[in-house]
Amino acid sequence: MRYVSTRGGIEPVGFKETVMMGLATDGGLLLPQTLPSVDSTTMETWRNLSYPQLAVEVMSLFVAGLERPDLEALVESACTTFDTPEVTPLIKMPKVNVLELFHGPTLSFKDIALQFLGNLFSLLLKERGETMNILGATSGDTGSAAIYGVKGKENINIFILHPHGRVSSVQALQMTTVPEANVWNVAIEGTFDDCQTVVKAIFNDIPFKQKHRLGAVNSINWARILSQVVYYVYAYLKLNSEAGAERVNFAVPTGNFGDIFAGYVAKRLIPGKIGRLVLATNENNILTRFVHEGRYVRNQVVPTISPSMDIQIASNFERYLYYLFDQDPARVRDTMTAFETGGEITCSLDERSRVRKDFVSASIDQGATLTAIRDVYKETGYVLDPHTAVGVAAVQRLGPDLPEGPVVCLATAHPAKFPEAVRKAIGKNPERPAALRGIEDRPRRCERLPADVDQVKRYIEDHAL
Ligand SMILES: *Cc1c(COP(=O)(O)O)cnc(C)c1O
Pocket test for ligand 1, best of 99, 102, 109, 310 (most atoms within 8 A of CB): 109
Residue 351 CA to ligand 1 center (angstroms) comes to 26
Helix (H, G, I), strand (E, B), or coil: what is residue 426? helix
C-alpha span between 336 and 327 (Å, rounded) = 14
> What would you report as the CA-atom Rg of the chain, rounded to the nearest whole angstrom?
21
Residue 371 is assigned to a structural domain of this protein: yes
Residue 86 CA to ligand 1 center (angstroms) comes to 21
Amino acid at 280: A
Residue 438 CA to ligand 1 center (angstroms) comes to 26
- Which residues have C-beta within 8 Å of that of residue 148, sequence separation ≥ 6? 81, 104, 105, 106, 111, 114, 115, 118, 178
Q: Which of 53, 35, 414, 26 is nearest to 226 (CA)?
A: 35
Residue 321 is assigned to a structural domain of this protein: yes
Q: Is 448 exposed, middle or buried (0-12, 13-18, 19+ CB in 10 A)?
A: exposed
Q: What's the pLDDT at 141?
A: 84
Residue 267: domain span: 90-106+223-426
257 lines ligand 1 (CB under 6 A): yes
Burial 224-258 (b: 16+ CB within 10 A, else e): bbbbbbbbbbbbbbbbbeeeebebbbbbbbbbbbb
Q: What is the widest separation between alpha-carbon atoms in the chain?
A: 60
Residue 271 is assigned to a structural domain of this protein: yes
388 lines ligand 1 (CB under 6 A): no
Residue 345 is assigned to a structural domain of this protein: yes
Q: Which of 184, 283, 229 is nearest to 36 (CA)?
A: 229
421 lines ligand 1 (CB under 6 A): no
Pocket test for ligand 1, best of 260, 387, 390 (most atoms within 8 A of CB): 387
C-alpha span between 404 and 385 (Å, rounded) = 27
Residue 440 is assigned to a structural domain of this protein: no
Residue 26 is assigned to a structural domain of this protein: no
Pocket test for ligand 1, best of 103, 225, 256, 409 (most atoms within 8 A of CB): 256
C-alpha span between 411 and 391 (Å, rounded) = 8
Residue 238 CA to ligand 1 center (angstroms) comes to 23
Residue 207 CA to ligand 1 center (angstroms) comes to 33
CATH of the domain at 395: 3.40.50.1100
282 lines ligand 1 (CB under 6 A): no
- Model pTM greater than 0.75? yes
Residue 412 CA to ligand 1 center (angstroms) comes to 7
Active site residues: 110
Amino acid at 56: V
Which protein residue's CA is at the shortest distance from atom 1 of ligand 1? 308
Q: What's the pLDDT at 222?
A: 96
- Minimum-distance ligand 1 atom for the alpha carbon of 315: 8
Helix (H) or strand (E) holding 42: helix 40-46
Q: What's the pLDDT at 196?
A: 86
Q: What's the pLDDT at 193?
A: 82
144 lines ligand 1 (CB under 6 A): no
Let me know: does 455 contact 449? Beta carbons within 8 Å.
yes
258 lines ligand 1 (CB under 6 A): yes
Helix (H, G, I), strand (E, B), or coil: what is residue 359? strand
Residue 458 is assigned to a structural domain of this protein: no
Helix (H) or strand (E) holding 110: helix 110-128
Rounded to 5 degrees, φ, ψ at 103 are: -90, 10
- Minimum-distance ligand 1 atom for the alpha carbon of 262: 7
Q: What's the pLDDT at 197?
A: 87
Helix (H, G, I), strand (E, B), or coil: what is residue 22? coil
412 lines ligand 1 (CB under 6 A): yes
- Minimum-distance ligand 1 atom for the alpha carbon of 228: 7
Residue 330 is assigned to a structural domain of this protein: yes
Residue 259 CA to ligand 1 center (angstroms) comes to 7
Give mean pLDDT in consecutive 10-residue pieces for the chain, a chain of 465 residues. 95 95 90 96 96 98 96 97 97 93 97 97 96 91 94 96 90 95 96 88 90 88 97 97 94 96 98 97 95 92 91 90 96 94 93 95 98 97 97 94 92 95 96 91 96 97 95
Distance of CA 180 to the CA centre of its chain: 24
C-alpha span between 320 and 265 (Å, rounded) = 10
Which protein residue's CA is at the shortest distance from atom 8 of ligand 1? 256
387 lines ligand 1 (CB under 6 A): yes
DSSP 68-108: HHHHHHHHHHHHTTSSSTTSSPEEE-SS-EEEE---STTSB
DSSP 205-254: -HHHHHHTTEE--STT-HHHHHHHHHHHHHHHHHHHHHH--S-EEEEEE-
413 lines ligand 1 (CB under 6 A): yes
Number of structural domains the chain divides into: 1
Amino acid at 385: D
215 lines ligand 1 (CB under 6 A): no
Helix (H, G, I), strand (E, B), or coil: what is residue 286? helix
Torsion of CA 255, 260, 262, 265, to 10 degrees: -140
Q: Which of 456, 453, 435 is nearest to 145 (CA)?
A: 435
Residue 302 CA to ligand 1 center (angstroms) comes to 16
